[in-house]
Every structure is written in C-alpha cells, then in structure tokens.
Structure 1
Amino acid sequence: MIARAGAAVAALLAAFLLTGAAVPVPDVADPDVEVEATPEPDPVRSAQYWLDDYGISDAWKTSRGAGVRIAIIDTGIGRGPVEFQGAVVDGTDVSGVGADDGRTPVGAVDGDHGSWVASLAAARGTGEDTGMIGVAPEAQLLSISVGFGASATVPFSEQIADAMYWAVDHGADVINLSLTTNMPDWDQSWDDAFLYAFDHDVVVVVAAGNRGSGTSRVGAPATIPGVLTVAGVDRDGEASVEASTQGITIGVAAPSEQLLGVSADGDLVEWSGTSGAAPIVAGIAALVRSAHPELDAANVINRIIRTADPAEDATAVPDPIYGYGLVDAAAAVEADVPSVTANPMGSLKDWIRLYRRADATPAPTPTSTPIALDPLPPADVPTRATSPLLPSRETLLYGSVPLMGFTVGGILIGLGVTAAVRRIRLARASRTPSR
C-alpha cells in the first residue's frame, strides 16, 4: 500500500527538536552538584516498535547481518539519504528507464517505494542511536530498479526474470520482492529465474499483497513454491484488514501497519502494507544467515517459520492468514531447531515437473537381450506404371477370364436346354389326335 506522511512521526521529530539532547539538571539533594540528565530517546527509534516487539533488538546481541547481501528488487534505492551510506554496494536497472546503478527512483507514483523497503531491511540510521535503522543494519544492499506499468519500456515479467538472474550473479544471499501480480499464475520465464535462485542457495522473501490494493488472495510471485511469503499484522499482532491478504502459501506474518520508511530524498514517512512486512522478514533472514553461515536457504527459512509465535486466532498451523505465526527474530537466531533436507515452503522443481510437462526421466535400460528377427522379403517392384482404373494381369488371369468362361458356358447351356424343351413339346403335339 502506498505510504503517506506520518503525522505522529512528524510530531515526535518536532518534540525532539524542541527538547534537544543532554540538559544539566540540578540535584535536589545537593544543589551545588550539577548532573547531566539522561538524553531523550530518539523519536524515530522509539517509533520503530517492531525492533523490540519482534525480538530484533535481542537478536542484535548475536547478529546484525554482517557479511550478508540483500537484493531489493523494487523501484530503486535513493542515493541521497544518509541512512543508506555504506549500505548499497551494487545495483542495476532492468526497467529500461532507470540509472545503470539502480539508484534513480523509477516511476512517478512508486518512485520512493524501493527506498522505503530498503530502509526497513538495512538502513544505517543517522547516528549511533538516532535515525531509522533496518532489521539487519550491517547487511549490504543490492539495488535493482524495476518499473511498474507504463513507467518501464521492458515487459514486467521480463524485468523480474532479469532481476533475479542479476541478483544471484552478484552475490545475493536474500532477495526481497515487495510486489504482486494479483494473479496466482506466473510467466513461464519465471520458472528458470526462480529455480536459478533456489539452485544457488538464495532465500527469496515475497510480500503477500494487500486487500486495500485489491489483492483478495495471494498472487504470484507469492504463489511460487519455495518462496517465503509474508502476511501483515497490525500493531496488536492481529491480521491487518487492509494491509494484508490470505492464502495457503503464506509462511509467516510480520508488522505491516504504522511502519516508517526513508524516501529517496531523505524524508521520513509512515506507511503500511506487506511491502513493508516482507523486508522486515528479509532482514531477519539476513540475521540468521550471518549468525549461522553453515545453514543453507532451506534451513534459514525453516528456522524462521518454526520459531514463529502462533497467532491467538489462527485456526491451523500453517494458517491461511498468519502462516506459521508471527516472526520472532531472537528465536530464529538463537533457538535450537532441527535441520531439514528440503525447503519447507515447497519445491518449484517438482511443481514444474507436474504442471509444465517437463522432460520425463530417461527410459529404463532393458533387462533382457533383444531377439533379432529375419527381415521380410523385399516387395516386387512394378515393371511399369499402370492406371488404377485398368485391369491388371492378375485380375484378368484369375478373375475376369474365368468369370467370362463360366458366364458364356452358362448361357450356352441355358440356350441348349431351352431348345430341347421346345422340341419335346412339338413332338408331343404332333402325336395328339385331333377331334
């Protein structure tokens, strides 16, 4: 869901500017001693409720995402904001209208979207304890700019496929896709592109979509087997009415309301949508990969879903609204979770084999020795061309001639019998006396 400027955040920032930082306050017990007051908490950090409520602050005691690359396939990450300094290490454009490094926002309406998403995943803040900070503040970002609708010269399906290949080839450990097609099916070119990511051990995190934007059920790429699909909840941990949706492919839920985001020009906004829930989970995946570099993508996803807190009003696990539950970053990083040998979110390779009619497995090797048969004798070669309307030698010899003989003989016999009968009748008539 497209964000709007947050009045609450603006009020907090104004309050911060008015109060300032450390202010000397006299000690009532000893008026001659001056002590320095505790600095006011940064209003921006205070507004990021998900850091404490979802175990992210506790997870930072173990990992802050160092050594992990998160690819943001979106409208581009702005160059200007100080929160991105040192975070974006590479980028490209696949829309045909952006900058080569992926840092020029694409789209008149959605241009800031990529920066908002990136700031939730790995923003650096504006100081040690000030400014917006991402879930994995030491992770590196790859900025891949795409265009939605008329804001691009390249077909959307082709853009996403190209972006997936580029991200994998440039070292992405986690790929974030905060977008949806609102359709369950996907272009066949995505089969190979997403398989390429899975075969190269990349965690792919996808937004479920928002009812407020017309997504009543998850659409591709959230329907692709193997991706970690993220639903959204409000500040109380209940399913968001507008900023989420439902579907059997949902893996986990994360905050999607009253989120903060850094715009391409550096402005701070409040916004909502699973577009924001997804990078929170992508950041948690980066924390897990940094803390457990020995784990493959399947086990990173498994840790995230198995340590999630089941929602109180969930009807099943996984649930079509919450998936396996609300993410818990600290548990995902620190808990003892049994390993798995397959991606718990499914296998795209198996899906392709079943539904794309992929090449069958090689034919089995025969177990018995084949028997050689004598070849048939060669067919007689006609000596000359004949018309199919004229009788052949064989039909004359074995058909027409005998038939004519039998026919003529029958006629002659019939005539002879008729003549004999007449003679007999005449003879009898001559012997009969007249009266």
Structure 2
Amino acid sequence: MNARRAGRVAVSAAAIAMTVVLGGASIAPAVDEAPPGATAPVAAPVPSPGVPSPRVSSPGVGAGAEDPARAAEYWLDEYGIRTAWQTTRGKGSTIAIIDTGIGRSPVEFAGAVAGGADFSGVGASDGRMPVGAVDANHGSWVASLAASRGTGAGTGMIGVAPEAQLLSISIGFGESSSVPLVQQVADAMRWAVDHDADIINLSFTTNTLSWDPLWDDAFQYAFDHDVVVIVAAGNKGSGTDEVGAPATIPGVLTVGGVNRAGAASEEASTQGITIGISAPSEELLGVSADGQLVVWNGTSGAAPIVAGIAALVRSAHPELDADNVINRIIRTAKPAAGATRTPDPSYGYGLVDAAAAVTANVASVSSSPLGMTLTEWVRLYRRADVAPAPQPTATASVPDLPAADRVDVRSPLLPNADSLRYGTVPLMAGTLAAILVALGVTAAARRIRSERAPRTPSRPSKEYFHL
C-alpha cells in the first residue's frame, strides 16, 4: 500500500482501494459513535447512545442499588458471562488489542496492560498514547469491553475477562500515520505473537473482500503459533455493505452484531458468509482514553466481547489449541431466532454463550472448524506463489530398465523374405509374362503383313544382262 487520501487506502501492487472502518463509522470524517445528542441526566443509569458523557459511578444512587455502569452491561447476564466467571475470569490469558492504543489514565486499566508497542510511527513506544485525531478513543473502548477491571468492588465498567492481560498495540488509520496500514497490521500481528498473545482482536474492517499478500504471512504466523484471531464484521451504518478484509481471511473468527433483542443489527453490523458468531453491537459501554464512559454501537465492540470469551475458554481449558477454542465458541452458540440455516450469513453459528463455551462438553476437532484454511486459500488463489519443485538428493538413482527385445536393424533398401515373397518375385514374373506376350503379338503382326503383300518376278540388273 503506497498512498492514503481522506481515509482511502491503496493496497498492494494491485492498488486495491479500501476504506478502513472502525466500529460504527468511516475513518474520516465521522467518529465511531452515533452523532452527539444531549448529555444524559446524572441520575440516569445509562448515557444516551454514542454520547461521551461524564463517568457513570455509584454516587447519587440509592443504597443497595447496583452500580449504574454494571447495570448498563446487559451482556454480562444475557450472554452467560457472569455464569462463566464461576469457573474462570480469564487469568493466564493475554489479549492483544491492535487498535489506536489503550489510554494510560483510566483506573479500569490498572494492572490490565502487560505491555505494548507502536507501529504507527506517531504513538508512544509502549502503545499507550492514543493515535489519531478522530478515533483516538477507539482502542480504549475496545479494550474496556475485553478486560477492564472496574473502579472498585462491584463498581465501574468491567470487561468480559477481567483477569486476563492486555497488550496495547497502537496503529494509525487514514492520515494519522505515514506507514502503510497493511504494513502496520502485519508488523503488529507478529509482535503480538512474539509477546505471548493468546488472542488477537482486530476491530476494524475495509471495503474490499481481498487483502494484501503481506497479510498472508502475518496471519499465517499467528495461526502457526496457536493464536485465536477475532475480527469485527463491520457496520452498514458506516458504509460497509458487505464483510471485508481482514474478516474474510480464512481462519479468523468473524463477529457479527445483534441488537438488544438478539436480531441482526441493521446499522451496527454487516452480514456475510464469513461470519462465524454473533454478539451484542448496540448500546455498548466503553471507557475512553481520558476515563469518560460512553455508550456506542458497532461490531468493533462485539469483537472484543467474543475475544474476552475466548480468553475465558483458554483460561479454563489451557490444553486446547486455537481450533478447539473456536470450535467451543461456535458449537455452544445459542440459535438465533432469525437464522435460516447454520451457519447463517447474518448470525454465523448463532449468539455467543460464554457459560456454555466454558463448561459444556464439546467434542474436539483436529482441523479448523471454519472450513478452508489460509494455507489452502493461498495455494488455490495466489497462483504466482507456487511451491518450488523438489530438488533431487545426492543419493538419488534411476532404477534399471527392463531388457528390450533384440531387433536387427537393416537398411530399408535391402530385400528381406517378405519383400521377396510378396514384392520382387511376383513383380518379375508379371513383367516377364508381359514381355513374352508383347513379343508374340509383334511376331504375329509381321507374319500377317508379309502374307498379304503382292509378289512380282525379279529381274536381273542391267549391268549384268548380256546379248
């Protein structure tokens, strides 16, 4: 990718144009949440959707009432997360958030971030300085859904896997970085794998089904090192009409979004055959880089909910490889009322169920439960990238050939028995007979001519006549 203009990105030698999309909006000029409205009243437990509002906290709430932030996190109960916490809270798992960076100031991230790096070229070396003028808060919102710690006992926003570790890997979108996006993502993927990530979360998408070949190696590197890669499907509300890369890369678990009723979201999700699982994408809570709580929409939020559940599964079942973690998540999903088949282009295998994913008995698999692997895809469709022909070894030998029948090679001009019998002898006999017949005919003709000619007496010559 060599150029980006106004949120457009040109990728690879083919110069495929794509728009990078975060959560609910395009990179420029819209922001990730819905258009701002009125600030929510202080007493309200949930701010208006998409409106950055003051921190929601317990002061002002009657004694014994649940903390407003926790009350706003409806997915904790409706998707079996609190039940899963009876088994594990994600300890021992590490989620890499490849995004715009996780803010340093929010108390919800205290003790959660184990390390980080910047690949945008404009962020901090530890990945904790938010990157981008428009989407700087996006990485913090995503991280808070995956593994935030809350603000105290039973207060503040808490993530799906509150004992998992986070890696803050900052990248820049649009004009916020001079480094090509595909290069940033490829380098960030490898860094995450090399720093012990169990799960990688990618809450962005593009407007193209294809991807730069540079991503082939980067994603395969993650798969080869047993990393679960979770990717957002994208949102119609931001102009993404179909699932785009990286959600189309074979082997990733693509997350579609549903509303509070469990129906496919019309604005805060896209639909497509690569969707593997569905999770909430509307009325989501998020911690901004400056510590404010907001409500926002988008599959950018659905993806880290599933990433957090993957961390719970890896914590409860450390013996499982990435294929079996994904298999548990999709096989234990709750059927979606609107689905017409399984997998369904709107819901994948259904609505994610954290409790079942952690505790249910699920048969193991020996290969990817999502179908074609990236290796197979590359072999089929990257026709220029073929494996080199095998080279012979030093001990290679050729087996002896069977003995051939002996054949006398003679000049075709010399006669043989067959040519004499069927060619030369009959030809000579025929020729001789023809000659004899011709001679006989000629002699007969002369005899007839001579018999028909008149006969006259002969006279002596004058020179010899004497008187």
Q: TM-score range by the shorter chain?
A: 0.7 to 0.9
Q: TM-score, normalised by structure 1?
A: 0.79
Shift of 1:18: 2.4
Corresponding residue of 1:359? 386
Corresponding residue of 2:112? 87
Corresponding residue of 1:98? 123
Q: 1:223 to 1:86 in 2, by over 3 A?
A: same
Q: Any idea what the Cα deviations from partners look like across 1:39-67, whole Å, max 9, x if unmatched?
A: 21111100100000000000000010000
Distance in 2 separating the partners of 1:316 and 1:9 = 43
* Paired letter, 1:223: T
Q: TM-score, normalised by structure 2?
A: 0.73
The 5 Å alignment of 1:84-233 reads 84-233=109-258
Q: Aligned residues, how many?
A: 355
Q: 1:137 to 1:364 in 2, by over 3 A?
A: same
2:322 pairs with 1:280: no
Corresponding residue of 1:294? 319
Distance in 2 separating the partners of 1:249 and 1:134 = 26
Corresponding residue of 1:255? 280
Larger Rg: 2
Partner SS, residue 160 of structure 1: helix
Shift of 1:19: 3.4
Shift of 1:363: 5.0
Shift of 1:362: 4.8
Corresponding residue of 1:326? 351
Q: Any idea what the Cα deviations from partners look like across 1:101-130, whole Å, max 9, x if unmatched?
A: 000000010000000000000000001100
Partner SS, residue 18 of structure 1: coil
User: Do the aligned residues in 1 keep the contact of 2:57 with 2:69 (CA within 8 Å)?
Assistant: no
Shift of 1:369: 2.4
1:41 to 60, 66, 77: 66
User: Do the aligned residues in 2 keep the contact of 1:9 with 1:47 (CA within 8 Å)?
Assistant: no
Corresponding residue of 2:427? none
Which deviates more from structure 2 when the two are superposed, residues 108-117 or residues 340-349? 340-349
User: Do the aligned residues in 2 keep the contact of 1:72 with 1:143 (CA within 8 Å)?
Assistant: yes
Partner SS, residue 253 of structure 1: strand
Q: Any idea what the Cα deviations from partners look like across 1:262-281, whole Å, max 9, x if unmatched?
A: 00000000000000000000
Q: 1:340 to 1:15 in 2, by over 3 A?
A: closer
Corresponding residue of 1:403? none
Q: What is the aligned-residue RMSD (CA, Å)?
A: 2.0
Shift of 1:9: 8.2
Distance in 2 separating the partners of 1:360 and 1:93 = 34
* Paired letter, 2:368: N
**Structure 1 segments unaligned to the other structure (5+ residues):** 23-38, 372-435
Distance in 2 separating the partners of 1:91 and 1:15 = 29
Distance in 1 separating the partners of 2:108 and 2:58 = 18
2:288 pairs with 1:246: no
Shift of 1:315: 1.1
Shift of 1:134: 0.1
Shift of 1:213: 0.6
Partner SS, residue 323 of structure 1: coil
Corresponding residue of 1:427? none
Which deviates more from structure 2 when the two are superposed, residues 355-364 or residues 63-72? 355-364
Shift of 1:313: 1.4
User: Do the aligned residues in 2 keep the contact of 1:102 with 1:144 (CA within 8 Å)?
Assistant: yes
Partner SS, residue 17 of structure 1: coil
Structure with a larger share of its residues in helix: 1
Detail structure 1 runs of 4+ shifted over 4 Å in the superposition: 4-10, 13-16, 361-368
Partner SS, residue 115 of structure 1: helix
Corresponding residue of 1:18? 60
User: Do the aligned residues in 1 keep the contact of 2:108 with 2:149 (CA within 8 Å)?
Assistant: yes
Q: Any idea what the Cα deviations from partners look like across 1:240-285, whole Å, max 9, x if unmatched?
A: 0000001111000000000000000000000000000000000000
Corresponding residue of 1:34? none
User: Do the aligned residues in 2 keep the contact of 1:9 with 1:44 (CA within 8 Å)?
Assistant: no
Distance in 2 separating the partners of 1:140 and 1:166 = 16
* Paired letter, 1:359: V
Q: Any idea what the Cα deviations from partners look like across 1:220-251, whole Å, max 9, x if unmatched?
A: 00000000000000001001000000111100
User: Do the aligned residues in 2 keep the contact of 1:9 with 1:269 (CA within 8 Å)?
Assistant: no
**Structure 2 segments unaligned to the other structure (5+ residues):** 1-23, 25-31, 46-54, 402-467
Partner SS, residue 19 of structure 1: coil
Q: 1:317 to 1:86 in 2, by over 3 A?
A: same
Partner SS, residue 117 of structure 1: helix
2:374 to 345, 348, 352: 348
Corresponding residue of 1:271? 296
Shift of 1:150: 0.2
